[in-house]
Chains A and B, each alone.
Chain A
């Protein structure tokens, strides 16, 4: 039976912080490549589908990697697409 080593409080906090830190800074793909922003269009449902979860929810920017400005554009176009029934509001997760 291995004895469970109890770390000191300071060591535990450092470990917790390092666990929470992400895998490096993500760059917004729309900021780096100007051409991609033209794909963000409410008619382009196939492209926008990549920014939805399985249940049809809009992915947060910390997952999609978009900066605040482009995340707003993406969200707006997704919501327009939803009105036109090109994208679902919600769906069952398969």
Chain B
């Protein structure tokens, strides 16, 4: 019976897509070497951290889910890999067991990339003229 695990990783904000792909490939390699299978590897995106981690205010989260067959030391290998191999890229990691009865859906906070861009609002150049105009001029200006 394969146990389901997930690993949440916090990496440096400057991580490039190539480095992320490299990370994914190397983790997949470790998982396959331990006779497991990678279920999913998701990039959550860039987040503003709750506190500075390794002097970084921002970070990129990755979530990897994988199956581990019985009798292997895959989880231990992954932990050492995070400590040794990915020391420079991955700042924090958390490996946890998934409840087999629970669905695989989960909720997560919104990343900076997903957050809607702030609307310019009425202080946009075109619209603000009415606001700054004097009382006499205001009657003439068409407010868009």
Residues of A bordering B, CB below 8 Å = 38-39, 41-47, 80, 82-89, 91
Contact = CB atoms under 8 A, between A and B. Distances in A.
Contact of A85 (B50, B63, B96, B108): B50
B106 interface: yes
Contacts of B94: 42, 80, 83-84
A85 B12 CA distance: 13
If over half of B's interface residues share one DSSP class (helix, strand or loop), that class is named, otherwise mixed; here it is strand
**Most chain-B Cβ atoms within 10 A of its Cβ — which of A47, A83, A84, A87?**
A84
A85 B107 contact: no
26 contacts: A38-B103, A39-B107, A41-B106, A41-B107, A42-B8, A42-B94, A43-B63, A43-B107, A44-B107, A44-B108, A44-B109, A45-B108, A45-B109, A46-B109, A46-B110, A47-B107, A80-B96, A84-B92, A84-B94, A85-B51, A85-B53, A85-B92, A87-B50, A88-B50, A88-B51, A91-B50
Interface of B: 8, 10, 47, 49-51, 53, 59, 63, 92, 94, 96, 102-103, 106-110
